[in-house]
Structure 1
Amino acid sequence: MRPVCSSFPARWAVAPRRSIGSSAPNTCAVSPPVTRRPPPAGLLARPAPAAAALVGLTLLDEARAACGRLDAPDDSEALHDFRVALRRLRTLLRSFRPELGRAVAKKLQRRLRDATRATSAGRDAEVQLAWVRTHRPERGRRSGPGVPWLLTRLEDRQNRAYADIRQEIPPEFRQIERRVRRGLNATLVDPSPTAPPFAAATGRLLREQTAMLEQELETARSTRDQDAVHAARIAVKRLRYLLEPIADERPPRAGALVELLKRLQNVLGELHDLQVLLAELGVAVAEAAAERARHLHAAALAGTPGRRPAKRTGPRPASAGLLALARFAGRLHDDLFRRLDAEWAGEPLATLTQDLRGFADDLVAAVVPPPRLPPPRRTRVHPARSRARPGAAEPQRHR
């Protein structure tokens, strides 16, 4: 039975395996350049609800534009751009929930989450196809038995996922978009001028997310766990998403912090992609062996009178090439962890987090001026006393 809050098929109500399609580069030379709308100007001084609504509407426009490109067969970046815009929008709505209040209901936010999850399989297949095509052995004697079978498997998965996405996502997103846009526009109509400024709210969130980054990155480095690496990458993204809308208002510090976070995100993204790919290669090796065993079993039965083996179509399953890819991916995985330890442990991480906290404090200080002390009281001299004759006796004071 479908959930009440979503019109997606029931198979999407369950969270799929974690997506890897966020750190891969452009996979198609003919894709149009990714165009992001500039953020609204003067955000920091605006009331936090109005500024958050303006950023949300900009992200909603980006998602709508990318959704309109999903049907273009030569635009392999449309799905990536759509997912990024949705992810930024969801992060904004979650981060500024106290400021936005009930502008976007939780049910709508869950539908945005479901829309993102529904696109994960298609994007994952794109990323894995690009990686295997780039790193497959040279053609010839050592072309990698089983690699053509893996490519066919991933291409079929991508085609099926894209068929579902093109059929289901655009009409569902149009429904979500109308309601989210209505809620954000209502926030602009009633901007709550007494609310704290956007700078103060952003500074508070930057401090919170910086503490989260320290914790998650230390866990990822110590455990090397896939979930921990993913959590650290998400913490980096949330910091980026907070800084990027205000980068033009605080140059060059905000831009420099964004670039550092991008570098860290790239390392964590490649790590996570390889971890998920290694798991996929493990499944593929097992399924290739099972498919080959089924074919051998069918061939053995074909020796029975009246039975003929089914004709094989497509590339043959084999494990040698898949295991070679897995060994290579494993070496890259270990190299990336060494790079993470060398570039983002100890002093480099401490410097980054110190700069983030300093920037957050400056944002708050810029909109919360120090308290003004009242001017000193001037003592008035009584005219009669000021004209007292010299040598006159002072009045006696009562003890």
Structure 2
Amino acid sequence: MSVMLNDLQAQVLALEVRLYACCARLQAQTDAEALHDLRIALRKLRSLLRPLRRQAPCAQLEQAAAALGRLSGPWRDLEVLAGELRQQGHPLLARRRQAPLLQGYRDVLGSEALQQLFEALDDWPASCREMAQAGQWRGGGKRIRRHLRAQARRLAEALRDPAHDRHRLRLLIKRLRYGAEAYPQYAELPAQAIAALRGAQSALGDWHDHLQWLARLPAEPDLAPCAADWQRRLERAEVQADVALQALLGYFPVAPNGC
């Protein structure tokens, strides 16, 4: 097998081990970061596989990881909200969200999405060998490089859109950052650009959190004591996000040509 394929298999195996460990931590409730770490592992897995989705096993495994990501996302949002409430001195509001959150953990652990992901991971090594024997991995490095260039071009164009959508920019930044971290040898981005992407993602994440918390108010009126503070912090986060986005322009001065 090629060096690229050997490295890919090693990374997928390491992430599989990490996913099992995260599930064990979530089951035993040993710490508050288990679900977060599980979702990070899912993102890393998807970033490895997304440029190679022309191959059916890659597409199947990436789709399984995406399904679990969608299922676990609302519970992570609730987890972050509960942590915010505790930090801001509202322990009762946080406790009210603890019971549904614990049920959410159980739902994730007992889900068909999790079972299907681990089944796809079990099938992955044999599928890789079959594709290698059929010569289907040739040109994989070129596909990865084209994919990352296309992601960089989309981000460069979106950054220059006067009517840019922060939600879309956040998604584009996440995809490029995680893809570049998964394949640094193909990313063609300096370390400073990766750091700038990470900073912009963090700033946009802060903005997104406050926007989501405020959006919950109509359905969760007990959050009203937090509304004024969240609104002030949202406005500050918008400014900080725009500053971080402006800094990215220096690393993407023109949209790259071609793929």
Q: TM-score, normalised by structure 2?
A: 0.81
User: Per-residue deviation at 1:54?
Assistant: 4.9
CA distance in 1, matches of 2:118, 2:144: 30
User: Per-residue deviation at 1:266?
Assistant: 0.3
Query: Conserved in 2, the CA contact under 8 Å of 1:57 and 1:184?
Result: no
Match of 1:102 among 49, 56, 69: 56
User: In structure 2, what is the equivalent of residue 176 of structure 1?
Assistant: 120
User: In structure 1, what is the equivalent of residue 243 of structure 2?
Assistant: 342
CA distance in 1, matches of 2:115, 2:139: 37
Q: Which residues in structure 2 correspond to 1:224-303 (within 5 Å)?
A: 228-247=165-184, 254-285=190-221, 288=222
Which amino acid in the other structure matches residue 170 of structure 2?
A: R
User: In structure 2, what is the equivalent of residue 352 of structure 1?
Assistant: 251
CA distance in 2, matches of 1:184, 1:275: 42
CA distance in 2, matches of 1:57, 1:84: 15
Which amino acid in the other structure matches residue 152 of structure 2?
A: T
Match of 1:77 among 20, 23, 33: 33
Q: Deviations over 1:135-192 (max 9, x none)?
A: 23xxxxxxxxxx5553233112212112222333654443232123432343455555
Query: Conserved in 1, the CA contact under 8 Å of 2:23 and 2:109?
Result: no
Query: Conserved in 1, the CA contact under 8 Å of 2:52 and 2:59?
Result: no
User: Per-residue deviation at 1:129?
Assistant: 0.8
Root-mean-square deviation (Å): 3.4
Q: Deviations over 1:59-81 (max 9, x none)?
A: 33432332333223122222111
- With over 3 angstroms needed to count, the CA separation of the structure-2 counterparts of 1:352 and 1:134, relative to structure 1, is same
- With over 3 angstroms needed to count, the CA separation of the structure-2 counterparts of 1:238 and 1:166, relative to structure 1, is same
CA distance in 2, matches of 1:65, 1:159: 18
More helix, by proportion: 2
Please state whether the residue corresponding to 2:196 is helix, strand or coil: helix
Match of 1:209 among 151, 165, 170: 151
CA distance in 1, matches of 2:58, 2:182: 20
Query: Conserved in 2, the CA contact under 8 Å of 1:55 and 1:245?
Result: no
Please state whether the residue corresponding to 1:283 is helix, strand or coil: coil
User: Per-residue deviation at 1:103?
Assistant: 2.6
Which amino acid in the other structure matches residue 268 of structure 1?
A: L
Query: Conserved in 2, the CA contact under 8 Å of 1:257 and 1:356?
Result: no
- With over 3 angstroms needed to count, the CA separation of the structure-2 counterparts of 1:196 and 1:134, relative to structure 1, is same
CA distance in 1, matches of 2:62, 2:136: 22
Query: Conserved in 1, the CA contact under 8 Å of 2:197 and 2:248?
Result: no
Query: Conserved in 2, the CA contact under 8 Å of 1:112 and 1:176?
Result: no
Please state whether the residue corresponding to 2:178 is helix, strand or coil: helix
Q: Is the counterpart of residue 328 in structure 1 residue 215 in structure 2?
A: no
Gapped runs of 5+ residues in structure 2?
Answer: none
Query: Conserved in 2, the CA contact under 8 Å of 1:103 and 1:186?
Result: no
Which amino acid in the other structure matches residue 210 of structure 1?
A: A
User: In structure 2, what is the equivalent of residue 160 of structure 1?
Assistant: 103
Query: Conserved in 1, the CA contact under 8 Å of 2:51 and 2:143?
Result: no
- With over 3 angstroms needed to count, the CA separation of the structure-2 counterparts of 1:50 and 1:326, relative to structure 1, is same
Q: Which residues in structure 2 correspond to 1:110-121 (within 5 Å)?
A: 110-121=63-74
User: In structure 2, what is the equivalent of residue 392 of structure 1?
Assistant: none
Which amino acid in the other structure matches residue 68 of structure 2?
A: A
Please state whether the residue corresponding to 1:353 is helix, strand or coil: coil
CA distance in 1, matches of 2:154, 2:139: 23
Query: Conserved in 1, the CA contact under 8 Å of 2:12 and 2:45?
Result: yes
Q: Deviations over 1:197-228 (max 9, x none)?
A: 62x33332222111222344456x846xxxx4
Query: Conserved in 1, the CA contact under 8 Å of 2:19 and 2:38?
Result: yes
Percent of aligned positions that are identical: 25
User: How many aligned residue pairs are there?
Assistant: 257
CA distance in 2, matches of 1:70, 1:238: 26
- With over 3 angstroms needed to count, the CA separation of the structure-2 counterparts of 1:229 and 1:184, relative to structure 1, is farther
CA distance in 2, matches of 1:274, 1:216: 23
Q: Is the counterpart of residue 60 in structure 1 residue 50 in structure 2?
A: no
Query: Conserved in 2, the CA contact under 8 Å of 1:210 and 1:239?
Result: yes
Gapped runs of 5+ residues in structure 1?
Answer: 1-44, 137-146, 289-321, 365-399
**Looking at CA atoms only, which structure, 1 or 2, has the larger radius of gyration?**
1
- With over 3 angstroms needed to count, the CA separation of the structure-2 counterparts of 1:206 and 1:167, relative to structure 1, is closer
- With over 3 angstroms needed to count, the CA separation of the structure-2 counterparts of 1:274 and 1:54, relative to structure 1, is same
Which amino acid in the other structure matches residue 31 of structure 2?
A: D
CA distance in 1, matches of 2:39, 2:249: 31
User: In structure 2, what is the equivalent of residue 122 of structure 1?
Assistant: 75
Query: Conserved in 2, the CA contact under 8 Å of 1:206 and 1:356?
Result: no
